[in-house]
């Protein structure tokens, strides 16, 4: 398998920090130390030719220590190693939930890391814009943690950010102010809103 | 007779010029306008919200805001058996539910180490390509409508209606198909399906040409799309774009060709790529993919092998109902399968399939037993949209609509 020589060259590059490669159903996985992830990714991208970061995700091994694991899926497009895949994993413990961000290496890491942060609360150092992405700003929980119940926990609805602020053009020519009385046609000073079910809303 | 000179507006140059003049004009009094686009906007195809910072008509900054359709599919998956999650995959890219069903089933089968028999594989290929045609048609129709051409949208819906009729015949549902099971399919091809599908493919070739004639050289459509939303080859790979959006930028990457699954390696088809990476190239790629999918369908429909459609694993796949009612062993297996699910081995796999929107990947982490410990969905629309913040600035407000249409995303899949 071609991925084995990539793993051994990684081990040579970062001695003592890269674990043994494991194969399952033709997928190669290798566990690395948390500190070297950015270096390893840069090495994989520039020296090996794994130019695409397919996915970043995280797993919560609730009850184990270290509790979390961040999983990276690399892939090569074109070049001599076309279509090779490699999965890197690293452990993150509850007391220090930080990992170096990969945005400086792969721009595509941006949203993936935001999602990991949003769902499990793992923070990424040097991330340019680490905000929640699927849940709203100000949501108090990390829903993909194993100790978060499936049926959810009560929380405030999106406040400031979501609904309570005025719309940017409210009161202007195109946005009618919310009112209980629908405007009558032809009445001076009223604006008509688009109907709620517009044909162009596919 | 006086000569009329028709000026061909080069939209890139026009936008660049406008942007330069706007920059020169914005002195100490210059101000920008923050415009909230979406989440319910005709051209955001669902519930995508983009905060645009406008200088006149030029976008200076774009901040996409997603998650309005977040349902927690991954959390749900951790709490049910593998087969129970199939209906949830319908609701990812809801324009191509059949392709999602197949991709998910293949991912779990990779974990199990199963291979579906040849007949099942061919039927799945037919499913995937029907789904691709239907999804691409809608993508192109919506793009055309966003650029002001209503006709195309009505034309493509006529064709999609025919595909939905086929899907209804095949699965019993038009929209939420849930057709695959882990290790096979819910039912075999119904009588008459092959002939109807062949008839559809035969007449559809002419319809692609019709679509081609309506749009490809349509001056308004070309002006709205050419040179707009250019994604460079490097950016496309760096952001992890897949599907027609990546191929539009000139990267010939198609999972069906490069890491063949099912029996795609047995079909002859080619992978169209663009040369510029603009919205027009992405449209052209989709158009050509319609032709290639039709070609694959023809080959698949001509040559459907006989034999079983499901894996022969008595403890893994639901036994036939006749046997459950008459035989002890099968009754036990059915009971275990329904209550505890398929017993998966310990391990982790990633499987990516070429869906209409790009590579739909499933990362499954199993601790053994009938329930995934962690199931991550790598949604192509999510990844494809992540480039918006870089792609939109510098374009005119009206180009945003064309770019969104050309990226062809589905929020159900993006937000999961």
Cβ atoms of B270 and B292 within 8 Å: the answer is yes
For residue B276, the domain's CATH number is: 1.10.645.10
Instruction: For residues B298-317, give the mean pLDDT.
Output: 86
Peptide bond into B39 cis (omega under 30): yes
Which of B62, B238, B255 to mutate against chain A (most A CBs within 10 Å)?
B238
Peptide bond into A66 cis (omega under 30): yes
Peptide bond into B49 cis (omega under 30): no
Work out the minimum CA distance from A168 to partner chain B, whole angstroms. Answer: 7
ipTM: 0.83
Residue B371 located in a structural domain: yes
Residue B44 located in a structural domain: no
Chain A neighbors of B380, CB-CB under 8 A: none
Q: CB-based contact (8 Å) between B145 and chain A?
A: yes
pLDDT band at A189 (very low <50, low <70, confident <90, very high): very low
Query: How would you class A133 by CB atoms within 10 Å of its CB: exposed for 0-12, middle for 13-18, buried for 19 or more?
Result: buried
- Token output for B262: 């099912």
Q: Which H/E stretch holds residue A43?
A: helix A37-43
Across the interface, of A82, A110, A143, the residue whose CB is closest to B75 is A143
Nearest to B167 by CA among B137, B184, B138, B187: B187
Supply the CATH classification number for the domain A3-156.
3.30.460.80
Average pLDDT of the residues of chain B = 87
Q: Is the pLDDT of residue A187 over 90?
A: no
Q: Measuring CA to CA, how many Å separate B249 from each of A76, A81, B240, B276?
A: 17, 21, 12, 6
For residue range B162-171, list pLDDT tens digits in order.
999 999 999 9
Q: CB-based contact (8 Å) between B298 and chain A?
A: no
Q: Please report the beta strands in chain A, taking only residues with DSSP state E, as ranges in sequence order.
A: 18-24, 27-32, 52-60, 68-75, 85-92, 98-100, 123-125
Contact B66 A202 (CB under 8 A): no
For residue range A57-110, list pLDDT tens digits in order.
999 998 888 899 999 999 988 777 888 889 999 999 988 889 999 999 998 899
Contact B373 A77 (CB under 8 A): no
Check residue B101 and give its pLDDT. 93
Work out the minimum CA distance from A139 to partner chain B, whole angstroms. Answer: 13
B401 or A2: whose pLDDT is higher?
A: B401
Residue B239 located in a structural domain: yes
Q: Is the pLDDT of residue B201 over 90?
A: yes
Sign of CA dihedral A29, A33, A34, A39: negative
How far apart are alpha carbons B53 and B75 in whole angstroms?
35
Order of all β-strands in the sheet with B374-378: B344-355, B358-369, B374-378
Question: What DSSP assignment string belongs to A5-18?
Answer: HHHHHHHHHSTTTE
Instruction: For residues B138-160, give the mean pLDDT.
Output: 89
Which domain range does residue B246 map to? Answer: 82-392+402-415
Identify the weakest region by mean pLDDT among A4-18, A87-101, B165-179, B236-250: A4-18
- Token output for A151: 């049926």
Work out the minimum CA distance from A131 to partner chain B, whole angstroms. Answer: 11
Alpha-carbon A135 to chain mean position? 12
Check residue B13 and give its pLDDT. 61
Contact B383 A108 (CB under 8 A): yes
Check residue A149 and give its pLDDT. 85
How far apart are alpha carbons A35 and A26 in whole angstroms?
27
Nearest to B67 by CA among A159, A196, A71, A162: A162
Across the interface, of A51, A57, A202, the residue whose CB is closest to B142 is A202
Q: Is the pLDDT of residue A183 over 80?
A: no
Identify the weakest region by mean pLDDT among A27-41, A165-179, B267-281: A165-179
Residue B136 located in a structural domain: yes
- Token output for B384: 């494809």
Q: Where are the domains of chain A?
A: 3-156
Residue B304 located in a structural domain: yes
How far apart are alpha carbons A112 and A110 in whole angstroms?
6
Provide the 10 A C-beta neighbour count for residue B254: 24
Check residue B108 and give its pLDDT. 93
Residue B4 located in a structural domain: no
Which of B240, B258, B273, B368 to mutate against chain A (most A CBs within 10 Å)?
B240
For residue range B340-394, list pLDDT tens digits in order.
888 889 999 999 999 999 999 999 999 888 899 999 999 999 999 999 988 998 8
Work out the minimum CA distance from A146 to partner chain B, whole angstroms. Answer: 9
Contact A55 B376 (CB under 8 A): yes
Strand-pair partners of B63:
B51
Per-residue b or e along B385-413, where b marks 16 or more CB atoms closer than 10 Å to that residue's CB: bbbbbebbebbbbbbbbbbbbbbbbbbbb
Q: Is the pLDDT of residue B27 over 80?
A: no
| pTM for this entry | 0.84
Residue B49 located in a structural domain: no
Chain A neighbors of B352, CB-CB under 8 A: 54
Contact B416 A134 (CB under 8 A): yes
Q: Is the pLDDT of residue B326 over 50?
A: yes
Work out the minimum CA distance from A27 to partner chain B, whole angstroms. Answer: 7
Check residue B134 and give its pLDDT. 93
pLDDT band at A169 (very low <50, low <70, confident <90, very high): low
B264 or B22: whose pLDDT is higher?
A: B264
Phi, psi of A18 (to 5 degrees): -115, 130
For residue range B206-229, list pLDDT tens digits in order.
999 999 998 888 888 998 898 888
Residue B10 located in a structural domain: no
**Structural domain count, chain B:** 1
Q: CB-based contact (8 Å) between B350 and chain A?
A: yes
Q: Is the pLDDT of residue B29 over 60?
A: no
């Amino acid at each position: 398998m071609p991925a084995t020589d990539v793993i051994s060259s990684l081990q040579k590059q970062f001695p003592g920090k890269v674990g043994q490669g494991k194969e399952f159903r033709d997928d190669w996985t290798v566990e690395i130390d948390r500190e070297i992830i950015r270096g390893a990714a840069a090495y994989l991208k520039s020296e090996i030719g794994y130019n695409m970061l397919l996915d970043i995700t995280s797993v919560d091994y609730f009850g184990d220590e270290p509790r979390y694991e961040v999983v990276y899926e690399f892939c090569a497009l074109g070049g001599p190693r076309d279509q090779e895949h490699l999965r890197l994993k690293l452990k993150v413990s509850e007391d220090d939930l930080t990992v170096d961000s990969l945005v400086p290496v792969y721009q595509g890491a941006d949203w993936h890391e935001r999602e990991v942060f949003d769902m499990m609360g793992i923070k990424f150092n040097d991330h340019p814009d680490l905000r929640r992405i699927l849940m709203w700003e100000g949501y108090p929980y990390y829903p993909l943690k194993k100790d978060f119940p499936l049926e959810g926990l009560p929380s405030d609805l999106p406040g400031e950010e979501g609904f309570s602020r005025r719309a940017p053009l409210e009161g202007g020519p195109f946005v009618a102010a919310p009112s209980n009385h629908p405007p009558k046609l032809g009445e001076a000073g009223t604006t008509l809103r688009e109907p709620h079910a517009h044909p162009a809303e596919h | 007779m006086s000569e009329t000179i028709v000026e061909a507006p080069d939209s890139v140059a026009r936008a660049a010029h406008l942007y330069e003049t706007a920059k020169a004009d914005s002195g100490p009094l210059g101000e920008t306008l923050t415009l909230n686009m979406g989440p319910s906007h005709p051209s955001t195809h669902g519930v995508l919200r983009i905060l645009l910072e406008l200088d006149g008509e030029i976008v200076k900054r774009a901040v996409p805001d997603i998650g309005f359709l977040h349902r927690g599919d991954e959390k749900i998956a951790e709490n049910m058996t593998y087969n129970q999650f199939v209906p949830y995959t319908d609701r990812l890219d809801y324009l191509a539910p059949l392709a999602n069903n197949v991709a998910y089933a293949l991912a779990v089968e990779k974990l199990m180490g199963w291979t579906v028999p040849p007949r099942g594989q061919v039927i799945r290929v037919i499913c995937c390509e029907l789904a691709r045609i239907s999804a691409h048609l809608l993508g192109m129709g919506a793009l055309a409508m966003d650029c002001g051409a209503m006709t195309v949208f009505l034309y493509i819906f006529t064709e999609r209606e025919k595909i939905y009729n086929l899907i209804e015949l095949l699965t019993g549902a038009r929209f939420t198909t849930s057709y695959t099971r882990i290790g096979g399919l819910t039912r075999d091809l119904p009588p008459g399906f092959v002939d109807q599908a062949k008839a559809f493919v035969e007449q559809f070739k002419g319809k692609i040409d019709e679509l081609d004639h309506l749009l490809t050289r349509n001056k308004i459509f070309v002006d709205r799309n050419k040179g707009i939303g250019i994604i460079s080859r490097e950016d496309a790979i760096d952001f992890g774009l897949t599907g027609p959006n990546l191929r539009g930028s000139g990267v010939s990457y198609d999972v069906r060709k490069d890491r063949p699954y099912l029996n795609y390696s047995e079909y002859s088809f080619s992978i169209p790529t663009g040369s510029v990476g603009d919205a027009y190239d992405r449209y052209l790629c989709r158009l050509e993919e319609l032709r290639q999918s039709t070609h694959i369908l023809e080959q698949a429909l001509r040559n459907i092998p006989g034999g079983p459609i499901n894996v022969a694993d008595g403890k893994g796949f639901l036994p036939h109902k006749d046997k459950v009612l008459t035989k002890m062993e099968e009754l036990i297996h059915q009971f275990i399968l329904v209550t505890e699910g398929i017993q998966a081995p310990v391990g982790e796999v990633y499987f990516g399939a070429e869906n209409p929107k790009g590579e739909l990947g499933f990362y499954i982490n199993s601790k053994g037993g009938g329930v995934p410990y962690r199931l991550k969905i790598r949604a192509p629309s999510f990844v494809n949209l992540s480039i918006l913040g870089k792609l939109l600035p510098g374009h005119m407000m009206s180009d945003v609509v064309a770019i969104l249409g050309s990226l062809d995303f589905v929020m159900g899949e993006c937000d999961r």
